[in-house]
Amino acid sequence: MDTRLLHTFLTLARTGNFTAAAAELHLAQSTVTVHIRTLEREWGTRLFDRLPTGTLLTESGRRRLDGAQEVLDAVARLRTGGAGAGEGGDGVVRGRVRVGTPESVCATRLPPVITALRTRHPEVEVDLYAAGTGECVEGLRSGRLDLALLLEEEGELPFPDVAAETVAREELALVCAPGHPLAGCEHAPTWARLARETFFLLEEGCSYSDALERRLLAVPDARPRLTRFGGVDAARACVVAGLGLTLLPLTSVEEQVRQGGLARVPAPDFSDVPVRLARHRRRWTSPAAEALVEEMTRQWADGETPGTALSAPRGSGGRRSSK
């Protein structure tokens, strides 16, 4: 089978659009159409529904995604095995790595990693996609992502086909506007007190936001007002406006705290959340992806978080991150 057809199939499945797939593959749109029709004829099934807004994988198409990716991975392994350290036969590591990551990690931890990677391996390109755990796992399964970074508690993930290892830890910060009644607290408020507040949290599936919601709702007669957002910016903006509190990685609010736009609230009991590197168990990791993993490990080995960490407020019973 012509592996170009499989590349086209996977690219169209990822982009959901003939025009976008053609642009990514540097092909004419008519060529993408011919490739897909050829596969559909060879496999005797319809792979995509053509809609006015783009394409949608059929059930038959979804069932063939993993197999197509495995074939391409096997071909890449064979090429790499005969080429030495790189993927082009010259010992140079090259290629594109697609990484799914929470917004806060994407904005704070990864830029210095990618800068260093470009110095060591200038022919490795990294595409970043801001996404939560569910979207990242689906991306790994479909082949849209090569790697993912998850803010998830340690232990076995509820996804048997995804393996994860802890590569860093994020300190969490409970924050409010400077004029909020809790801004001047020297001691951590009780859970009963917090359960009367308004919170702006990240969407369901965010491990630390879900854990906070469970703790708040476990308080007898709890009446917290909870709003969930898909991104850090929206939650943070509501809190800056004085509408309530939020719990976010310190790196995503550090600058606002330093400038006085936000104030840290002593937290009763929040542990650092692990940053876990995830990969699909059955998929091959390319040399380019391995190079990125090595750079993450090198950058984060000493446990440093980008920026200058701000101590938890006095009397919180909290601690600076032990990352």
Give me the residue spans of the domains in the chain.
1-82, 88-169+273-308, 172-271
Instruction: From 146, 164, 144, select the one nearest 154 (Cα to Cα).
Output: 164
Instruction: From 252, 205, 203, 211, select the one nearest 228 (Cα to Cα).
Output: 203
pLDDT at 90 over 70: no
Homologous superfamily of domain range 88-169+273-308:
Periplasmic binding protein-like II (3.40.190.10)
**Helix boundaries (H) for 82-132:** 103-108, 110-120
pLDDT at 81 over 80: no
Of the given ranges (59-63, 64-68, 276-280), which has the lowest mean pLDDT?
A: 64-68
Q: Tokens 């976010």 sit at which residue?
A: 248
Q: Spelled out in words, what is the top-level CATH class assigned to the domain 1-82?
A: mainly alpha
Task: Output the CATH code of domain 172-271.
Answer: 3.40.190.10
Spell out the residues 6+ positions from residue 320 whose beta carbon is closer than 8 angstroms to its own: 171, 309, 311, 312
Asked if domains 88-169+273-308 and 172-271 share a fold, the reply is yes
pLDDT of residue 80: 60
Report the pLDDT averaged over residues 176-189.
92
Decide: 224 and 217 in contact? Cβ < 8 Å: yes
Q: 285-308: b or e for each residue (b if 16 or more CB lie within 10 Å)?
A: ebbbbebbbebbeebbeeeebeee
Report the pLDDT averaged over residues 17-29.
91
Indicate whether this model's pTM tops 0.75.
no
- For 272-284, what is each residue's pLDDT tens digit? 899 999 999 888 8
| Cα dihedral: 177, 181, 183, 187 (round 10) | -150
pLDDT of residue 268: 78
Instruction: From 168, 169, 293, 179, select the one nearest 239 (Cα to Cα).
Output: 179
If you write DSSP's letter for every residue of 252-287 in order, what string do you get? HHHHHHHHTS-EE---SS-PPEEEEEEEETTSPPPH
Strands 95-101 and 124-130: parallel
What percent of the chain is modeled with pLDDT above 90? Answer: 52
- For 262-273, what is each residue's pLDDT tens digit? 999 998 778 889
What is the rounded distance in angstroms from the CA atom of residue 94 to the CA atom of residue 72?
16
What is the rounded distance in angstroms from the CA atom of residue 58 to the CA atom of residue 48?
5
pLDDT at 180 over 50: yes
